């Protein structure tokens, strides 16, 4: 039996999340836009999102038309996401760190017909006008909009604040997410209304409460930043949205009585560099996601920031797959927890067979997971096999069903026939006093295939030598795992928006750094 058009089943839409919150908690504060100092109730935020939806539809944009936007962590980026969900338009959030040429390529490839630009990124406007022929509408967030831009606030002021009369199916396309990844191959994928709404399953893992105040520091042009805002809206909690800066994060936690914040380990490391940290006793939990959490950072964060640590494991393509709570951490300190509600996770060998207690590739599926990459048949064939999404991450399950991350399949270094997991060496290096950040890569070698190479960023005023690094590693690691090449750099490691190190860039940079003799492990 099939359900016809008169079915009574409702759909799941991000627009409905804010509408429901505005009905239930109209006068409750929903959002502090920290960069501008503006505060919005759920009613105000919903009304502004409705106005933007009507304004976009008044530009004769049809459902399914793509609207690009270049915006930092401020209220307008959330309003844009919600307005698209209510109007049936499809979003293309763009990383404002990209060059004009890269933005041009993405806009033209995806086929955007309108773009919303925050004034601070207005330098790209001329290039986009000249090189993106399909762009018919330009909307400017800020004052003194240049021609031919329409001012964002003027569009809102002229539009009604009523709910748009649109029926949005939960299978409808919602927005394109873009990730440069760690291997250099850009990937784009389309999220549906349903997959964006399914974030609520992971809320149970982080034990979200209506009285939570969540600080969102991940860039909202990526899935993690938006996910934090959506989860807060679902629970009726308050969000504080800000662009990451260590001292500003500390200030906001104290002044806004923040209870939850999610970070990548690098963010925590930068906060921990502040010599004297004030008490932040409003925090009931710090969550980590985006890259592996080194023991040294975990222990320092627990001692100096908040003792209650959550850690999620997942990918932008799959959403959160597992969650470790503070209770889990006490039992299994090195684990990333167990699968979240509706999350299915396996560790498989090279033949696709599930294994327990052995290292294999992590595969998963959940309502958050995408089903394909955009116009990328080769990537689809590699990632989607046998009804599972192949993450490219290495891990193992213990006998109690707890997952442990062991690195990336493509991060496996094979030197003289020996398999070396770079994550193990990185965890060791971060325990060396003076190492602020690091990455371990395999640099090609004509005899040994690859040579273990450590790229290290030291703390301010710290001087280390390659010999000190190697001696420190030799005390706890097998000889073939000790880095044969050690290089130091002052600038931060290249990372994706979610904090993963782009190791291919390091290999390119240090390809000719020097030949360590015969490269023989010692």
For the segment 52-72, what is each residue's pLDDT rounded down to a tens digit?
999 999 999 999 999 999 999
Can you read off the two tokens belonging to residue 132?
């993106």
What per-residue confidence (pLDDT) applies to 198? 84
Both structure tokens of 458: 């030291």
1 has a pLDDT exceeding 50: no
Q: Of 379, 372, 374, whose CA–CA distance to 110 is shortest? A: 374
More confident residue, 83 or 2: 83
Q: By 3-state DSSP, what share of the chain in percent is helix, strand and coil, each rounded to 5? A: 30, 25, 40
Between 154 and 450, the higher pLDDT residue: 154
455 cis-preceded (ω within 30 degrees of 0): no
Cβ distance 167 to 177 under 8 Å? no
Q: How confident is the model at residue 408 (pLDDT cuts 50, 70, 90)?
A: confident
Predicted pLDDT of residue 173:
92
CB atoms closer than 10 angstroms to residue 134:
12
Question: Which among 322, 318, 280 is positioned nearest to 301, based on CA atoms?
Answer: 280
CATH class entry, domain 40-168: alpha beta
Examine the pLDDT at 186 and tell me if it is beyond 90: no
Phi, psi of 208 (to 5 degrees): -65, 140
Express as a percent the part of the chain with pLDDT over 90: 65
Percent share of the chain, pLDDT over 70: 93
Unique residue bearing structure tokens 């390659």? 466
Tell me what the pLDDT averaged over the chain comes to: 90
Structure tokens at 511: 């390809």
Whether 181 has a pLDDT exceeding 60, the answer reads: no
40-168 and 416-509 agree in CATH topology? no
Query: 416-509: CATH homologous superfamily?
Result: ANL, C-terminal domain (3.30.300.30)
| Concatenated DSSP letters of 26-47 | TTSEEEEETTTTEEEEHHHHHH
Span 344-360, average pLDDT: 94
Q: Residue 24 pLDDT more than 60? A: yes
- In the structure, what pLDDT confidence band is assigned to residue 8 with cuts at 50, 70 and 90? low
Q: Where are the alpha helices (DSSP H) in 236-341?
A: 246-255, 265-272, 295-304, 326-331
Write down the domain spans for the chain.
40-168, 416-509
Distances (CA, A) of 460 to 295, 299, 330: 21, 21, 33
Average pLDDT over residues 292-302: 88
């Amino acid at each position: 039996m099939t359900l016809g058009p008169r079915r009574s089943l409702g759909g799941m839409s991000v627009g409905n999340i804010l509408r429901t919150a505005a009905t239930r908690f109209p006068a409750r504060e929903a959002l502090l836009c920290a960069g501008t100092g503006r505060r919005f109730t759920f009613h105000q935020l919903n009304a502004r999102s409705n106005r933007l939806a009507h304004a976009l539809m008044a530009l004769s944009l049809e459902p399914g038309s793509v609207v690009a936007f270049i915006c930092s962590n401020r209220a307008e980026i959330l309003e844009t996401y919600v307005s698209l969900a209510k109007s049936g338009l499809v979003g293309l959030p763009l990383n404002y760190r990209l060059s004009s040429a890269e933005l041009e390529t993405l806009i033209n490839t995806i086929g955007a017909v309108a773009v919303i630009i925050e004034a601070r990124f207005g330098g790209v406007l001329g290039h986009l006008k000249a090189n993106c022929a399909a762009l018919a509408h330009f909307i400017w967030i800020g004052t003194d909009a240049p021609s031919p831009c329409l001012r964002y606030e003027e569009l809102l002021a002229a539009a009604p604040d009523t709910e748009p009369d649109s029926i949005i199916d939960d299978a409808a396309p919602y927005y394109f997410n873009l990730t440069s990844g760690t291997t250099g191959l850009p990937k784009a994928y389309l999220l549906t209304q349903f997959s964006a709404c399914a974030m609520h399953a992971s809320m149970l893992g982080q034990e979200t409460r209506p009285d939570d105040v969540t600080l969102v520091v991940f860039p909202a042009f990526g899935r993690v930043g938006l996910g934090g805002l959506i989860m807060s809206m679902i629970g009726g909690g308050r969000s504080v949205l800000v662009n990451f800066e260590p001292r500003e994060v500390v200030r906001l936690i104290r002044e806004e009585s923040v209870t939850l914040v999610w970070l990548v380990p690098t963010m925590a490391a930068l906060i921990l560099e502040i010599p004297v940290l004030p008490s932040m006793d409003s925090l009931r939990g710090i969550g980590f996601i985006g890259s592996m959490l080194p023991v040294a950072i975990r222990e320092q964060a627990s001692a100096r920031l908040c003792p209650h640590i959550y850690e999620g494991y997942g990918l932008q393509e799959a959403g959160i797959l597992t969650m470790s709570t503070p209770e889990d951490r006490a039992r299994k300190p090195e684990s990333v927890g167990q699968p979240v509600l509706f999350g299915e996770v396996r560790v498989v060998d090279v033949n696709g067979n599930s294994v327990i207690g052995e290292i294999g590739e992590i595969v998963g599926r959940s309502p958050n997971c995408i089903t394909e990459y955009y116009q990328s048949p080769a990537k689809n064939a590699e990632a989607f096999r046998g009804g599972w999404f192949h993450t490219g991450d290495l891990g193992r399950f213990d006998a109690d069903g707890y997952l442990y991350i062991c690195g990336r399949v493509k991060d496996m270094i094979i030197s003289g026939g020996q398999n070396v997991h770079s994550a193990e060496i990185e965890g060791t290096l971060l325990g060396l006093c003076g190492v602020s950040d690091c990455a371990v890569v395999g640099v090609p070698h004509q005899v040994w295939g690859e040579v273990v190479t450590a790229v290290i960023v030291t703390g301010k005023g710290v001087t280390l030598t390659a010999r000190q690094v190697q001696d420190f590693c030799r005390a706890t690691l097998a000889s073939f795992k000790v880095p044969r090449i050690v290089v130091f750099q002052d600038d931060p490691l290249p990372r994706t928006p979610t904090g993963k190190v782009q190791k291919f860039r390091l290999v390119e940079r240090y390809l000719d750094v020097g030949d360590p003799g015969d490269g023989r492990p010692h």
